[in-house]
Amino acid sequence: MTAPPGWSLRAAIERRRPPVPTPAITRLRALIALTALAVVVVETLNIVESGSPGFALFVRTVWAFARVVGLLVLIRMVRFGRAFSRPFGLILAVTTVFAVARLTTPREGSLVPPVQVLVGFGVLAVLCGTIVALLYRSPAVAQHLAHRPVRRHVPASVLTVRVVALSYAALVAVPLLVGVGTLGGEQRRHPFASTVLLLGVWAALLVVLVALMGPASAFLVFGKAWARWVVGILSAAVLVLQPVLCYAVLGLDGLLRDGVPLVVTAVVGLVALHRSRGEPTWVRVPDPRS
């Protein structure tokens, strides 16, 4: 078995080696780490302030700490100059801000939310907004993320659609689990049979997303036209169904906390899908040494 023409072990090692971090990248990584710490602090305060912890709080807390893990992954992606850092960071920022925003709702018997939660939300909103601004507006960050040589060119819009499509399953699964937890409690908003039917529709949507979105978005990266239709139709479906199901099963709380973030995510994905029309993807990049 022979190596490809022009291939060398040294070149392969250099390609995988992370670029030298600039002061802008160091500051961005420190900012992401601070955001992860802020999420932990805010969610811990929410648990302490909660007077009635239950299954829904457990699910949302697990989801919050999953986002913390995502932020730690983002730090590594930025360090290695991955192009996925931008859409991945955008989705994390959107879901984090909306999840924490819902914590600012006054609890029963109170006219205002806890001061700690309000301060935490304000800090997190500024941190997440700054991360997105640096990822998309900073020339130094853009140069760092474009440092790694690629063999196949994939437009940024296509990468954004790919990340958005892969995030749908998690954004649907969390409120679905919270909805399942309402079946045996006083929080159920409809008769048992009606709630089971709504949850069944929700579960079917999740199964379809898990089964189709991963492969379809992968083929979209390869430039397959049929994959664009699959991703577009499923994005439109989840854009409509998720808010309706969130409101029907979980009420206004679920709509704001789980429906709106997915709407924002789906809109970002559909806009990116529209912008990627006609853009060549998975195109071999000529070796500059040849």
The amino acid present at 266, given as its one-letter code, is A
| Residue 44, pLDDT score | 84
The encoded tokens of residue 127 equal 């941190």
The amino acid present at 168, given as its one-letter code, is Y
The tens-digit pLDDT sequence of the chain (290 residues) is: 455 555 455 555 555 667 777 899 999 999 999 999 999 988 887 777 766 667 888 888 888 889 999 999 999 999 988 888 999 999 999 888 887 776 666 555 555 666 776 787 888 999 999 999 999 999 999 999 887 767 788 899 999 999 999 999 999 999 999 999 888 777 788 888 999 999 999 999 999 999 999 999 999 999 999 999 999 999 999 999 999 999 999 998 888 888 988 999 999 999 999 999 989 998 887 755 55
Domain ranges of the chain: 20-148, 152-290
CB atoms < 10 A from the CB of 22, how many? 14
Pairwise CA distance, residues 224 & 232, whole Å: 13
Contact call for residues 18 and 144 (beta carbons, < 8 A): no
The amino acid present at 6, given as its one-letter code, is G
Alpha-carbon radius of gyration of the chain:
21
Pairwise CA distance, residues 38 & 71, whole Å: 11
209-217 contacts at long range (C-beta below 8 A, 24 or more positions apart) = 209/168, 209/169, 209/172, 209/234, 209/238, 210/169, 213/165, 213/166, 213/168, 213/169, 214/165, 214/166, 216/165, 217/161, 217/162, 217/165, 217/166
| Residue 74, pLDDT score | 96
| Residue 102, pLDDT score | 65
CB atoms < 10 A from the CB of 126, how many? 12
| Residue 159, pLDDT score | 92
Nearest Cα residue to 246 out of 186, 182, 290, 193: 182
Pairwise CA distance, residues 164 & 269, whole Å: 6
